[in-house]
A = this chain, B = another copy of it.
Amino acid sequence: MGKDISQAVIRRMPRYYRYLGDLLEQGVERISSNELSAKMKVTASQIRQDLNNFGGFGQQGYGYNVQFLYSEIGKILGLEQQHNVIVIGAGNLGQALANYPKFKKLGFVIIGLFDINPKLKGETQSGVPVMMLEGLEDFAARHEIDIAALTMPKNNADKIANRLVNLGIHAIWNFAHVDLDLVDKDVVVENVHLSDSLMQLSYNMNMHQNAGEIKDFNGKRVERL
């Protein structure tokens, strides 16, 4: 399932999941692709196409069962299982991740923060202990770790990432401002490059001022409302 699905489609799935979760909270039981389209500001045909990648889930004349679609997308995203996460770097960003309650709700449980600053040793963030990086191997031997988030400066990122990979951690959530160069290429990396995002905003500001155009969620130009 899902072998030939583009990353563009995958990028939209969490957004569907989020909207469906909101609908569930509001007690909505079913929704047509047109209604979902109006809410999410993507075309109904885009929604149908995206979901057809995974087998559809809709029923002609009925629309989508919100609870069913929500849990199916959850399965597609791998959310039916818990993921244990460690965070390397217990600075502001690492702390922000540890203190963000949403992750745990989605099954991403931060089980440890690591840093090299001895002043942080013994601290906790939302109950998550800050440990010294030298204890990483020992911790990894005693805990199952699914994902490592890297929030430390870029100059150490490759070295630490490869240390994690050698410990059998095959998923890295990389906030360091560098594309990782990994010994084992068989690792899944998701980058959050904040500077890149800010530069993209800056580009769009300039273009927007020049052209006065509006882009929708998918970056397509849309008519001015």
Given A18-B196, A199-B77: A188 in contact with B204 (beta carbons within 8 A): yes
Indicate whether A122 reaches chain B with its CB closer than 8 angstroms: no
State the Cβ distance, A215 to closest chain B Cβ, in Å: 7
Selected from B106, B194, B200, the residue in CB contact (under 8 A) with A199 is B106
B-chain residues with CB within 8 Å of residue A2 when the two chains form the complex: 203, 207, 210
Residues of A within 8 A of B (CB): 1-3, 6-8, 10-11, 13-15, 17-18, 40-41, 76-79, 83, 91-93, 95-97, 99-100, 102-103, 106, 108, 146-147, 170-171, 173, 177, 179, 185-186, 188, 190, 192-208, 210-215, 217-219, 224-225
Number of copies: 2
Do B211 and A201 touch across chains, with their CB atoms under 8 A apart?
no
Q: Judging by beta carbons under 8 Å apart, are A78 and B196 in contact?
A: no
Given contact pairs A217-B179, A224-B185, A91 touches B102 in the complex (Cβ within 8 A): no
Query: Which of the residues B91, B170, B198, B213 comes within 8 Å of A173, measured between beta carbons?
Result: B198
Contact call B177/A102, Cβ cutoff below 8 A = yes
**A198 interface neighbour in B18, B108, B206, B217, Cβ under 8 Å:** B108
